[in-house]
Chain A
Amino acid sequence: MNASLNFIGLEISVIGLGLVLMLADFFVPAERRRFIGYAGIAALGVLLIMSFSGNGTCSNFGFGFNNAFVNDGLSLFFKRFFIVAAILVLFIAAEFSDKLAAGSIAEYYSLIIFALAGMLFAASSNDFVMLFVAIELITVTFYVLVSFQRSKVASLEAGVKYLILGALSSSFMVFGIALIWGTTGTLNFTELAAVAPQFETSRIFLLGVLLVLVGLGFKIAAFPFQIWAPDVYQGAPTPTTAFLAIGSKAAGFVLLLRVLFTAVPSVTLHWEKLLIVISAITILYGNLCALPQRNLKRLFGYSSISHAGYLLLGVAALNANGQAAILYYLAGYLFTVLAGFLVIALVLRHLETDDVSGLAGLSQRSPLLAATMTISMVSLAGIPPLAGFFGKFLLLKSVIEAAQKSHHYGYIYLVFIALAGVVISLYYYFNVVRAIYWSKEARDLSPIALSAPAKLTAWVCIAGIFWLGLFPNTVLNLANQAATVFVAVTK
């Protein structure tokens, strides 16, 4: 047991950090609690640097806690990813503090950190129990984060919806886990991989796996479990939405990848049709619903569904390139989506609406924010040379490779559907750009004052988007290494 603690030093530090931030609440006067976030950022920055220097426990590869916890290339990639996401979200939260109940910001910070801890555990899960606990740690924290603006009905409504639908999905998942245990007698991914081929024809076992996928599908907002996303994205405080869009989704994907490709790879191989259909419908659903959407946060909700669909392309491809492409795409999506939410948080925090028209005249009010939002939209739409383009390129490439290898017509259709989705998405993404630069509706043209950290965040996001788009090799190598974790099983 003590040896196992060597693997979770990072997680312990993060939980400790969350507690410290919460306690700081007592010692820091309400008007200065905003700055607690910067201490949290600094601490996370140190942990991030440690992860890269090889000193952190997350670089200590191996299994712990009776093989329930694993540190490997995949977990390392995602832990760095989650820490970067949390840092940027904390920056956004610090800008958003005056919209929250007075003095409650420290609590908000610590909840973000706790959610981060859940994500870190998720990245290392090698056991269905660990998976469930990690997911619940994330989800329960998010229930609070979503309904954090207690004075706002919309926020509370979103919280209740998320809570009830989340509980529903958790119950399906826990039922699924029970069925898996009941049929196979093991919950450990590694052990399961060894015995799963015997149970391929067991309907009860397959039912169990499917019900686990229901829970994960809910996390990533894939069809047909996407229905909550727009409402919750819209109602939640903007930093929460941001973290939901990137952190929660990525946690869902790392678990999905682990379950599909390390726990039950032999079963996954037979599900290419299912994955193709889900990916295709998710892409179309997200993009089509976003078309008439005027509310910016809701738009991001639908956009997030469609991106779950694109990411599922890499899952459906069932090859190592697809898995690596998912990781790469998520890295690009991180900077892109947080750039968008940063602008939403900064521009719309003083407006009553979240409407796209709120961005009118932004090009004059703050050229930096206008550029940030535009770059974010262009990257989401997948236009070179930005991160979104290269990610989509890799995903589609992996699907085309799969098509060549398996001669499954579904893959060809999937490529065309994904491309159609991209074309549709151009319309609503560029609608936002149009509002920024060409809208005549602008009433308020006063300049937006930006704090230094806000500017820094914007520049970091822009730099990240361009860096990933122009020099993809560094991150792509990391992603390729991480994807070696998955068992390559062929029919």
Chain B
Amino acid sequence: MKYENLPWLILFLPLISAAVITLFTLRSKTVSSLISIGAVVAGFVMTVIFVNANGMQFSGETSLQWLEIGDLKADFGLKLDALSMMMLFVVTGVGGLIHIYSYGYMHEDRSMARFFACLSLFTFSMLGIVLANNFLMMFISWELVGVSSYLLIGFWFEKPSAGDAAKKAFIVNRLGDFGFLFGILMVWGLLGSLNFSALQNSITANPAALGAMATTAGLLIFCGAMGKSAQFPLHVWLPDAMEGPTPVSALIHAATMVAAGVYMLCRSLFLFNADSLHVISYIGGFTALIAALMAVQQNDIKRIIAYSTLSQLGYMVMTVGLNGPTPAMFHLTTHAFFKALLFLAAGSVIIGMHHEQDIWQMGNLRKKMPITFLTFTIGTLALCGVPPFSGFYSKDAILAQAWEQKSYLLFGVAVFIAALTTFYTFRLFFVVFFGKEKSDHAKHAHESSLVMTLPLVILAVFSFAGGFIGITNNYGSQFVHEHETFSAWQQFAEPFHNPFPMVCGLVAFAIGFFAALSLYKNATSDPLPKKLGGLATLMKNKFYFDEIYEATFIRAHDFLAAVADWIDRWILEGAIIGAIRGGTDLSGRALRLAQTGNLQTYAFLFVLGVALLLYFVLGK
């Protein structure tokens, strides 16, 4: 491996940046943000150098032994292969653009330095997940990602809703991580190693190595992905996480952190047997479906995109479950481009609208914010899978995977979701950028500064061209044994190999688009609730998941907490500790009575002591 030290540098630069900002430069916004941006951009440049030197088809590990406890040897090591290097590009590349954008977006915020410190911490943690060569290191980074996500969602902690959302995200993620940890322990117990390559070797050597626990172990590990990638039933945190600043939503809750679950599944795909993959695919499909339905009736620009993210993550998880890591990672990558673009463009809209997020207050912004409009359009087309935008290729790969695996139910669901996606995205698109201005803010909206629009343009380029720049070649080399490299033209024409899914996808787009066009082209209020009645209310209220959880799990939890509190307060603290404390105190006070201050007493006690001593030793 050439430049063996570069990956370490890529990994640790953001951590150093976070430390330096926190310790030294918290007072200076500009210096702090430049340090943070510098760290991630340098990471991107080093990634390019490293990949150029080693080539994409390369695979290697570099590690230090970190700790050894009994049989457990934990390495602190980096795994470098096509999968992790592509993710390096996504995290440092898309992440870098978002860092730059944040410089403009957060400029007015007085805690901008803290923001960038958290952002750097996040980047470090995410790179840790991507580069980890073993489950332990991945889990540590996994938790660090959770922490930094918590810090960033709750960045505006003065707002109670932000604080609540941060807690919700953290706790829900912890639920998933609990299962993940169990899964890791189980794998370690059964296979005796945590290193991905060693695990893969032992599974290849003996496919039944996990024995009867294979499904359980697989599903426990999937729990981790369920939390991070917000899959049903742990999906509830992601929409609330939109309380964080918009660049955070773009970076963490669209491009990287939520993709970590999918990445982890692909990294450890060899561990999953057919049964667990089956469950995973259905959970993914179901999440995709309910999230798309919820998105149809949201009015907050960021929440719509958030539900869309949920739905797309469902797609990816479903595809992993259908044994298609290549299309899943392909979609993950293109999604990182166009979803980050959509979020950042939405952020630009929000800034232009003076922090108004309700789409029914907007309208006709295409003239006021031309660059934002143009880039948003590209993002929309990519998300909806219009050829030749990147989303078209990755979504088609997913549909083709479902079709080829003969999973017709999931295929049908996926096509239906594609139509829904187009519908809600264009609903957003028409209401925000077309029609009449629906408020004063919309009339006085203005385009954002260059530091914000430039990242939009770059992301737009990739959202457009992501389908035929060789992404599938790279992932394919990781997952498919006899993989053939496609030229750009072959990639361009790839969907025609299996025309039926492609046609279904295009029809779904057409249906969704014309439905949205007819309903929302010039709408000033939402016509859908009248037409759908109860179903619309259900969608608007997210199928009442929050309320159901509130009434069941949280109630039960509160009850248990109250019981534990009572036991702690009265039995442990009051009776047991109280008796020990009181007894100690009392004996102290009693013993003190011996110290009368009277010299005769003292002399008497002294001689008594001598007598005692002599009796003790000589008296027997």
Interface residues of A (CB under 8 A from B): 160-161, 164-165, 168-169, 172, 203, 206-207, 210-211, 213-214, 218, 223-225, 227-228, 230-231, 271, 274, 277, 285, 288-293, 424
Contacts and interface: CB of A to CB of B under 8 A. Distances in A.
A231 B603 contact: no
Given A224-B609, A292-B592, 17 more contacts: A165-B599, A165-B603, A169-B606, A206-B617, A210-B613, A210-B614, A210-B618, A214-B613, A218-B606, A224-B606, A224-B610, A227-B605, A274-B616, A288-B584, A288-B591, A291-B584, A292-B589
Nearest to A231: B597
Nearest to A270: B617
B432 to A, nearest CB: 56
B595 A224 contact: no
A285 B602 CA distance: 16
Nearest to B594: A227
B595 A164 contact: no
13 contacts: A164-B603, A207-B618, A210-B614, A210-B618, A214-B609, A218-B606, A223-B609, A224-B613, A227-B595, A231-B595, A289-B588, A290-B588, A291-B584
A92 to B, nearest CB: 26
Interface in B576-620: 584-585, 587-589, 591-592, 594-595, 597, 599, 602-603, 605-610, 612-614, 616-618
Contacts of A293: 592
A156 to B, nearest CB: 12
A169 B588 CA distance: 26
Given A285-B591, A289-B595, A228 B614 contact: no
Contacts, number: 75
Nearest 10 interchain pairs by C-beta: A224-B609, A291-B588, A288-B588, A227-B602, A289-B591, A227-B605, A288-B587, A292-B589, A288-B591, A289-B592
A277 B615 CA distance: 14
Given A231-B595, A290-B588, A225 B606 contact: yes
B588 A271 contact: no
A203 B612 contact: no
B592 A274 contact: no
Nearest to A224: B609
A270 to B, nearest CB: 9
The A interface is mostly helix, strand or loop, or mixed, namely helix
A294 to B, nearest CB: 11
B533 to A, nearest CB: 62
A227 B606 contact: yes
Nearest to B616: A274
A165 B606 contact: yes
A291 B588 CA distance: 6
B434 to A, nearest CB: 63
A274 B617 contact: yes
Contacts of A206: 617-618
A216 to B, nearest CB: 12
Among A206, A223, A228, A288, chain B packs the most CB atoms within 10 A around the CB of: A288
Contact of A277 (B589, B597, B616): B616
A230 B605 CA distance: 15
A292 B595 CA distance: 13
Nearest to A211: B610
B538 to A, nearest CB: 55
Interface in B496-516: none
A206 B615 CA distance: 12
A168 to B, nearest CB: 6
Contacts of A211: 610
A225 B609 contact: yes
A168 B595 contact: no
B606 A271 contact: no
Nearest to A288: B588
A224 B603 CA distance: 11
Given A210-B617, A271-B617, A424 B584 contact: yes
Contacts of A291: 584-585, 588-589
